[in-house]
């Protein structure tokens, strides 16, 4: 009998990450759950183990390259390698673009973008050396495909994750590596992302003055969402099996992407009308 496959999930202590960990457990996989929040991690570990799956829990701040390297080392030394990697941990700050501070940018880009970069840097060379089929899912957002007011820092980080993932897929195809890539782009889902401040490093001052009003809007959107974290996790697992790149669980995201693309092409045609005739 072959050894069970192994899935690593960052941000596994809550929300979409916890749902991904449980979805992998129900696929019969060993789960390596990582999060900055050690208590939340213990709860996820108990939930995964209650399904009968094995779970290694490791505290890891994804914005710290050495932490992510240790996560990869542990995954290889204790589980023998990794088949699926979910670079999922993320945080949000809200507020008008001009209110975002250096600390806001550093924190959100450090977790949302550099967390994904660190995951790829530590895991891809090991996956390539192992030579077996593998898959990486980077969690972006609908905010990585379109934009929304009050979310400049978050949108910039998530657009960067989409661009990085597209380049990663091209680079892996270029070298013929058997490693698939997907980018997960959900719209609002009820999780604890609206309480991201709980994970803000104590050394960084609190968020700007306009955050509260935008926060209300996000909470209302989450409450109205008819898609759950479990639905998102299922869509991600289905996409891995189908080897689909873009995972877009909410139907309404299609309209936002189309509107943005039409606006870009409208302005493009306006400038290039004569040269196109």
Measured in Å, how far apart are the chain's first and last C-alpha atoms? 64
Secondary structure letter of residue 136 according to DSSP: E
Q: Does 104 contact ligand NAD by CB under 6 A? A: no
211 Cβ neighbours under 8 A, 6+ residues apart: 93, 94, 95, 99
Tokens 């609002």, residue? 188
Q: How far is the CB of 208 from ligand NAD (least distance, A)?
A: 19
Q: Does 156 contact ligand NAD by CB under 6 A? A: no
Which positions from 226 to 265 touch ligand NAD by CB under 6 A, shown as an x/- string? ----------------------------------------
| Residues 82 and 76: beta-carbon distance below 8 Å | yes
Q: How far is the CB of 104 from ligand NAD (least distance, A)?
A: 14
Touching ligand NAD, residues 175-194 (CB under 6 A): 186, 188-189, 191-193
**Cα dist from 175 to 92, 100, 128, whole Å:** 35, 39, 10
Structure tokens at 141: 């957002």
Q: Does 134 contact ligand NAD by CB under 6 A? A: no
| Nearest CA-CA partner of 14 in 70, 89, 77, 74 | 89
Q: Does 17 contact ligand NAD by CB under 6 A? A: yes
Q: Which part of the chain contacts ligand NAD (CB under 6 A), choosing from 15-23, 24-32, 98-106, 208-216? A: 15-23
Which positions from 198 to 227 touch ligand NAD by CB under 6 A, shown as an x/- string? -x----------------------x-----
Taking CB under 6 A as the criterion, the residue among 29, 61, 123, 247 binding ligand NAD is 61
Closer residue to ligand NAD (CB): 89 or 134: 89
| Residues 237 and 135: beta-carbon distance below 8 Å | no
Closer residue to ligand NAD (CB): 22 or 60: 60
Q: Give me the catalytic one of 107, 123, 154, 214.
A: 154
154 is catalytic: yes
H or E segment at 22? helix 15-26
Residue 207: is it exposed, middle or buried by C-beta count within 10 angstroms (0-12/13-18/19+)?
Answer: buried
Q: How far is the CB of 41 from ligand NAD (least distance, A)?
A: 8
| Residues 111 and 156: beta-carbon distance below 8 Å | no
Q: Does 91 contact ligand NAD by CB under 6 A? A: yes
| Residues 157 and 113: beta-carbon distance below 8 Å | yes
**Interface with ligand NAD: number of residues (CB under 6 A):** 31
Closer residue to ligand NAD (CB): 130 or 231: 231
Closer residue to ligand NAD (CB): 88 or 165: 88
| Nearest CA-CA partner of 108 in 89, 88, 93, 86 | 93
Q: Which residues in this chain contact ligand NAD in the complex, by CB under 6 A?
A: 10-11, 13-17, 35-37, 40, 60-63, 88-91, 111, 139, 141, 186, 188-189, 191-193, 196, 199, 222
């Amino acid at each position: 009998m072959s050894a069970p496959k192994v899935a690593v999930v960052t941000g596994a202590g809550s929300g979409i990450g916890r749902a991904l960990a449980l979805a992998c457990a129900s696929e019969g996989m060993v789960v390596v759950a990582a999060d900055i929040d050690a208590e939340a991690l213990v709860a996820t570990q108990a939930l995964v183990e209650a399904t009968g799956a094995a779970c290694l829990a490791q505290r890891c701040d994804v914005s710290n390259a050495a932490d992510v390297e240790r996560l990869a080392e542990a995954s290889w030394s204790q589980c023998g390698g990794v088949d699926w990697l979910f670079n999922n941990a993320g945080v949000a700050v809200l507020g008008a673009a001009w209110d975002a501070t250096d600390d806001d940018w550093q924190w959100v880009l450090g977790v949302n973008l550099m967390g994904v970069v660190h995951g790829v840097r530590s895991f891809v060379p090991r996956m390539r050396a192992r030579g077996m089929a593998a898959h990486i899912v980077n969690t972006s957002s609908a905010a990585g495909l379109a934009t929304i007011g009050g979310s400049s820092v978050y949108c910039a980080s998530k657009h960067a994750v989409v661009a990085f993932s597209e380049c990663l897929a091209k680079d892996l195809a270029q070298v013929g590596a058997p490693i698939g890539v997907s980018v997960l782009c959900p719209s609002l889902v009820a999780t604890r992302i609206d309480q991201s401040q709980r994970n803000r490093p104590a050394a960084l001052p609190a968020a700007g003055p306009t955050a509260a009003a935008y926060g209300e809007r996000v909470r209302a959107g989450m409450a109205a969402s008819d898609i759950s974290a479990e639905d998102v996790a299922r869509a991600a697992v289905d996409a891995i099996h189908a080897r689909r790149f873009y995972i877009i669980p909410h139907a309404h995201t299609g309209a936002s992407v189309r509107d943005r693309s039409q606006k870009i092409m409208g302005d493009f045609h306006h400038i290039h009308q004569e040269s196109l005739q």
